[in-house]
Every structure is written in structure tokens, then in C-alpha cells.
Amino acid sequence: MTWEDEFKKNITTVEDLAEFVDISRAEKTRIQRIIDRHPMSVTRYYASLIDWNDPEDPLKKMTIPSEGELDIAGIYDQSGEQQSTKLPGLQHKYTRTVLLLTTNMCTTYCRYCFRKRLVGRPTDETIHRLGDAVIYISAHPEVNNVLLSGGDPLCLPTRTLRRFLEKLSEIDHLDFIRIGTKVPVTMPQRITEDGELYELLKETSVRKKRLYVSTQFNHPNEITPAARRSINRLHRAGIVTNNQTVLLRGVNDNPETMSKLQRELTGMGIVPYYVFQCRPVKRVKKLFQIPLARGFEILEKSRSLLDGYSKRYRYVMSHRDGKIAVAGVDKEYFYFRFHQARNPKNDGKFFKMKFDPDAAWLDDLRPA
Ligand code: SF4
């Protein structure tokens, strides 16, 4: 069976869900209300990793709609993506990186998604014409890398992905191309069983432009033999892998889970890159966000359980003003550093804000 056939069997309806759990009529109605707004889609592979009898199962929390999503505190575009958009589907926020929204589809929809406004929904935010994007990037020699994002670029047919990689590889001033994908976590067979994709990735990364893949493992239960095989195959194709974890309430918000995750990823040859503070997005904030002070404490304790390689991650907020690393906390202040800044003058800048134990985002804090 091809990955496309597998994809068609995804769990997308309340009736599909009822194959796994007992759902009352009232619950069905509530879940339907949520799905009507933000669709559900879960691969059969990922569903097989869930313990359906455990109400606290972390993988279930990440992918199965729950009533908490009816809380609409927050805003959809927390990172100022509209502000960074130069052409449909092309964002240029940081000097050296251009981001392309290649699709609005993912193999599995995460309930905490920061692009909830567009994934699986009608949108005009994805790329319209690749040629226009290539002209834009070619005219900006300061750009040295392009990030293919979405949605999930590995949801695209291989022939479409080929067009992206071939066109971008022709731009001399690009040093490398990045692909942000959750496919090794949600549908590893897309990587292990599609020979055409493997050849495309290998040909690009070894002969044309180095490819970097950013994975998104959030919990050790996602690290399976199949996921390991998919990562090994990416490495064999000459790809460098980094991981970006989202810090999520009730999923990975404890030092033991977080340190186990980062240690196992490092053992697989994946570099721990970022741990993201969950963004205050509508239908996500109340359900998944934890306070910054708590997040800092969890990640520091997690570091104390790890070797140097496994604690290479940075704890950051992807804020509209830039990627802001949480550098320290004491009884009076939070200390932050711009890891990447929308305004290049702020790059590397340190600043502090008054301590607030409940604050969960920069905008919740008062200046020092
Ligand atoms: S894979 Fe990424 S873009 Fe897709 S739903 Fe999950 S978080 Fe959102």
C-alpha cells in the first residue's frame, strides 16, 4: 500500500474515532463542533501508538480534539506571520532565511498547532507561484537558506517537492535548504517505503544543496522502531536532522519526560535544537500553555539530567519581534536574549522584564 493510500485511511470523522473509544452522543456533538472549525486527521500508524484506555495519554492529547479547544482566548497569528509575508506563501522575517508555506496539509493535525488558522482549512496563505518566489529569493543575495514549511512539505506529491528542490537548488547564494516536517513522527513509512523520495532527497543533499530536516518529536512514546528507521534513512540520504519540541501542558511538562526525549533523540543522531514555548494561539493557549517560570524550571532540571550533547536545545518564544530565548529567571526578573530578531539591530540583545509567576508569553510581562 502506498503512503497516499494509507493517508486516505486517516481518522477524520467522529465515526472513525468511535472505532477506538466509546463516545456518547453529547460528546459526538461537541467533537463535531470542534472538527467543523479545525479538522481532525490522524494516521492509523500514530493512532496505534495511543493507549486509548488512558485518559492522560500524551499522544492522544496532541491529536484528538477535546473540549478545551472551545476556549477562544488568544489570537491566531501570534508570530506576526502576516507582517512577514512578502508574496502569497513567502515570509521573510529574518534577514538570511526565507520561509515558504508549501501546503496547508499535514499527515496528522496537531491540536496545539500554531498555524491552526490555515492547516487543513481553506486558505490563500500558501504559495501560489513558485516562479515568483524564486525571483524574490534570487533578488535577495543576503538570503542564504530557505525553509520549506506548511503544513507539511512531505505531504506534497514527490513530483511537486522535486520542483521546489530543483528550482531552489539553482539559486547560487543559497547554502542549504531546510524542510520542517512531522512525517518521521506521524507517517514514517512515507520516508522508508518511497524510493523515489529517497533518491530525490539524496540527489539534492549530496550533489546540489545540503538538506536539513527539522523534526518535531514531543514525547518519547513517538520514538518507535519505524520512526528510527525513517531517521536512519534521512541520514543515509545525506540529510542533517534537528529537532524542535513544543513544551505542552500534560504532554511533556516534566523534567523526566523531557530529558528522556532529548537523550533518545541525540542517540538517534538528531540534534536537539529548540524547545518552543507554546504560543498563545486561540483554542490552544488555555489547553496547552504553561507559565514561563515553570517552563524554565522544567528545562533546567531536564538539563541537569543530561550530557552536554543532549542539552543543546534552546528554550525560545517565537514572538512577532523575533526568536527570544529565555536566558534566566530570579525572584525579581526574567532575562531574555534575542536569538533572531525581526529588527536586525536587536540581534543578540539582552533585556529583562519584571517577574510574574503566571506569565506565559512576553506580552504578559511588564518592563523592568
Ligand atoms: S505538523 Fe506542524 S503544521 Fe502540521 S498540524 Fe502539526 S504543528 Fe501544525
Q: Does the CB atom of residue 111 touch ligand 1 within 6 A? A: no
pLDDT at 203: 98
Q: Is the pLDDT of residue 258 over 90?
A: yes
Q: Which of 270, 262, 245 is nearest to 310 (CA)?
A: 262
- Using CB atoms within 10 A of its CB, is residue 345 exposed (0-12), middle (13-18) or buried (19+)? exposed
Res. 59 pLDDT band, cuts 50 70 90: very high
**Residue whose grid cell is 500500500:** 1
User: Which amino acid residue places its CA nearest to atom 7 of ligand 1?
Assistant: 113
In testing the pocket of ligand 1, which one of 12, 113, 116, 247 has its CB within 8 Å of the most ligand atoms? 113
Q: Which of 329, 330, 325, 297 is nearest to 313 (CA)?
A: 325
Q: Which residue(s) pair with 352 in the sheet?
A: 335
Q: Does a structural domain hold residue 176? A: yes
Q: Does a structural domain hold residue 273? A: yes
d(CA 148, CA 129): 14
E strand spans, the chain: 85-87, 90-94, 97-101, 145-149, 176-180, 210-215, 240-247, 271-277, 314-319, 322-329, 333-341, 350-354
Q: Which residue(s) pair with 98 in the sheet?
A: 146
For residues 156-176, average pLDDT: 98
Peptide bond into 151 cis (omega under 30): yes
Q: Does the CB atom of residue 279 touch ligand 1 within 6 A? A: no
Q: Which of 189, 195, 232 is nearest to 213 (CA)?
A: 232
Lowest mean pLDDT segment, chosen from 57-61, 66-70, 166-170, 337-341: 66-70
The torsion angles phi and psi of 180, rounded to 5 degrees, stand at: -95, 120
User: Which amino acid residue places its CA nearest to atom 3 of ligand 1?
Assistant: 151
User: Which amino acid residue places its CA nearest to atom 1 of ligand 1?
Assistant: 182
Q: Does the CB atom of residue 40 touch ligand 1 within 6 A? A: no
Q: Does the CB atom of residue 184 touch ligand 1 within 6 A? A: no
Q: Is the pLDDT of residue 72 over 90?
A: no
Q: Does a structural domain hold residue 51? A: no
pLDDT at 1: 82
Question: Tell me, what CATH number does 231's domain have?
Answer: 3.20.20.70
Q: Does the CB atom of residue 62 touch ligand 1 within 6 A? A: no
Q: What percent of the chain has pLDDT over 90?
A: 95
Q: Does a structural domain hold residue 184? A: yes
Q: Does a structural domain hold residue 9? A: no
Q: Which of 354, 345, 356, 350 is nearest to 326 (CA)?
A: 350
Q: Does the CB atom of residue 185 touch ligand 1 within 6 A? A: no
d(CA 49, CA 61): 12
Q: Which ligand 1 atom is the nearest neighbour of the CA of 115? A: 8
d(CA 197, CA 205): 12
Grid coordinates representing 3 are 503512503
Q: Does the CB atom of residue 151 touch ligand 1 within 6 A? A: yes
As for how many domains the chain has, the answer is 1
Q: Which ligand 1 atom is the nearest neighbour of the CA of 182? A: 1
96-110 pLDDT, tens digit per residue, is: 999 999 999 999 999
pTM: 0.97
Question: Residues 281, 287, 293, CA angle at the centre, nearest 5°?
Answer: 85
135-164 pLDDT, tens digit per residue, is: 999 999 999 999 999 999 999 999 999 999
Q: Does a structural domain hold residue 75? A: no
287-325 pLDDT, tens digit per residue, is: 999 999 999 999 999 999 999 999 999 999 999 999 999
235-252 pLDDT, tens digit per residue, is: 999 999 999 999 999 999
For residues 180-197, average pLDDT: 97
pLDDT at 214: 98
d(CA 304, CA 274): 17
8 A C-beta contact, residue 290 and residue 253: yes
Res. 71 pLDDT band, cuts 50 70 90: confident
Q: Does the CB atom of residue 115 touch ligand 1 within 6 A? A: yes
Q: Does a structural domain hold residue 97? A: yes
Average pLDDT for the chain = 96
The torsion angles phi and psi of 338, rounded to 5 degrees, stand at: -75, 110
24-35 pLDDT, tens digit per residue, is: 999 999 999 999
User: Which amino acid residue places its CA nearest to atom 8 of ligand 1?
Assistant: 113
Q: Does the CB atom of residue 106 touch ligand 1 within 6 A? A: yes
pLDDT at 32: 95
Q: Which ligand 1 atom is the nearest neighbour of the CA of 109? A: 5
Res. 79 pLDDT band, cuts 50 70 90: confident
Buried b (16+ CB within 10 A) or exposed e, 62-85: bbbbeebbeeeebebbbbbbeebb
Q: Does a structural domain hold residue 281? A: yes
Amino acid at 307: D
Res. 78 pLDDT band, cuts 50 70 90: confident
Grid coordinates representing 113 are 498547532
Q: Is the pLDDT of residue 91 over 90?
A: yes
Q: What percent of the chain has pLDDT over 70?
A: 100
Structural domain boundaries enclosing 281? 81-317
